[in-house]
Amino acid sequence: MKIDSLEPSVYLNPLKLAFNKAANKQNAIGMKAYMLNQFEFYGIKTPQRDAIVKSFLKIHRVQHYNELEKIVQYMWSQNEREWQYAAIDVLASHINLWKASTIQFIQYCLTHKSWWDIVDGIGSDWLPKYFSLFPEKQIPITQKWNQSNNIWLQRSSILFQRSYKKNTNTQLLSEYILRHQSSKEFFIQKAIGWALREYSKTNPAWVKSFVESQDLAPLSKREALKKING
């Protein structure tokens, strides 16, 4: 069914009912603890949640971008973390509606209720799609993020190419890593290592040479060379 001019809460009511039905209090306690008690959970494990959202999206479609953004923003405002996970799927499944300005909303999501799970989910499911649609935005946006004071934007700028393989812009990767090579932030050190480790699957010689020639944090080096060193 196509949805137009519908209140987010009305559109999402079937999904809310499904989440409530699948809720598991015991799972929720463990999930909350794993996320350092920062977020509430229904306690729905990933395979079940994915199935629920997939089933919902087969029937409930959105026609216009403005409606889509309102819906996803409403999902972002909900307490249970499953709503943000589902929001990533909802926006990604309507890529045909995206505009160049969607990056502003993506940045909003990266900087609200931020933690590694959501930031990396956006990095996997939104950023490659967006930069594929609007390649001219890639450098100006990621440079801005890399130079920001927000660690999650910094992390996103370092990691956004992790699925690019042979299309990786190594000059950009180098620049973004080296700007933060002295960072004491765990999530930045880890991001540097992860970005390099992913590229090492495509070009191990480049990664090995880069790591040996730069003063990276021990954590970043370890992560970067995991595939190379076995």
For 156-176, write each residue's pLDDT tens digit: 999 999 999 999 999 999 999
**For position 1, what pLDDT does the model report?**
43
Task: Determine the Cα–Cα distance for residues 21 and 48; give it in Å rounded to an integer.
Answer: 12
* Sequence-separated (6 or more) residues with CB below 8 Å from residue 36: none
CA–CA distances in Å: residue 226 to residues 47, 106, 194, 208, 222: 28, 31, 9, 11, 6
For 26-78, write each residue's pLDDT tens digit: 999 999 999 999 999 999 999 999 999 999 999 999 999 999 999 999 999 99
**For position 230, what pLDDT does the model report?**
73
For 88-111, write each residue's pLDDT tens digit: 999 999 999 999 999 999 999 999
* SS3 of 60-108: CEECCHHHHHHHHHHHHHCCEHHHHHHHHHHHHCCHHHCCCCHHHHHHH
In the predicted structure, residue 3 carries a pLDDT above the cut 80: no
pTM: 0.94
CATH hierarchy code of domain 1-97: 1.25.10.90
| Other Cβ atoms closer than 10 A to 189 | 22
Name the pLDDT band for 199 (thresholds 50, 70, 90). Answer: very high
